Amino acid sequence: MDKKNILTAPFVREMQKTTANMYRLGWDERNGGNISYLLDEGEVAEYLDLACVIRTIPTGFDATALIGKIFIVTGTGKYFKNVEDDPENNLGIIRIAEDGTTAELLWGYSDGGRFTSELPAHLMSHISRLSVDPANRVVMHCHPTNLLAMTYVHTLDTKEFTHTLWQMSTECVVVFPDGVEVLPWMLCGTNEIGEATAACMKEARSVVWALHGLYGAGKSLDEAFGLVETVEKAATIYMLTAHLPRVNTITDEQLKILADFFHVTPKAGILKL
C-alpha cells in the first residue's frame, strides 16, 4: 500500500506551526529551544515504512523504558524559524531501539544532522511524565524573555516563585495548579540537568531553569504551548509591576475560590490559608 506524504502528516504540520509561533514570540532565538513529541505508531505507519531505518544515532542515555517509542524531535543547531519551510532538514522522526541507548532515524535530519543535544533531558522527562500521566506526550524547552528576566530578580524558591506567578493573573492557578518547579543554574546539555528536570517533572508540568529558560510538558503541542504561554504572561506582568507599589493583588482566599470553581487542586503548601 502506498504511504501518504509525510509532509502532510498532522504531527509534522503541528511542529511547523508551533516552532514558527515560538520563534515569532521570541521564545526560541537562533537555535535556542527544542521540542520532542511522542507519536502514535499506527499514525506514523500511514506515512513511513517503519522497517526502513535510515541510520542509527547514540542517544547518550539509557532510555530502556521508552524502547519502541517513536518521537518527532527538533534538530541540534537548527533554527526554529526555518522549520516551517524545511521540515525534513530541521526535524527528525526517531524510534528508541531495542538496546535503549540508540535512536533509529526513520525520517528527517536530511543534511546528516541529529536530534537536539537536550534529547537525554527530554527522554528523562518523558519517562517521568508518562509515569504520572500516560497521556502526556510533549516536552518543550524554550527561553521566554520575561520568565528568564524574572529569575534574575525573584527568589528561586519553588513555592514562592509559584505563588507569585499565580497572583499575576486569574487564569494561572487554573492552568497550572501543579505550580512550577525551579532549578538553580546548571550546565545545560548534560545528564545531570536532565535528571534534575525529570525529578521535578514528577511534581509539575513546568520546570524553570534559572537564568536559562523553561521546560513544559503536556498532552499535546497545544497544551504544552499554552502552558508556556500562560507562565510567560504571568512573568511579564510581574516584570511590569515588580518595581511599583502593589495596590491590588489576588489574595490566597481568591485563589482558593478560583481553584474550587474550576475543580482544580492547587499544589499543597503554597496558599497560606
CB 90 within 8 A of CB 31: no
- Using DSSP's 3-state secondary structure scheme, residue 167 falls into helix
Distance CA 116, CA 78 (A): 8
195: annotated active-site residue = no
Q: In 141-151, which positions are buried (b, 16+ CB within 10 angstroms) versus exposed (e)?
A: bbbbbbbbbbb
What are the angstrom distances between the C-alpha of 95 and each of 41, 56, 59, 102, 104? Answer: 10, 9, 11, 8, 5
* C-alpha span between 134 and 128 (Å, rounded): 10
Catalytic site residue from 14, 104, 118, 223: 118
Spatial separation of the C-alpha atoms in residues 199 and 208, rounded to whole Å? 13
- Under 8 Å CB-to-CB from 85, ≥6 apart: which residues? none
Which of the residues are catalytic? Answer: 118
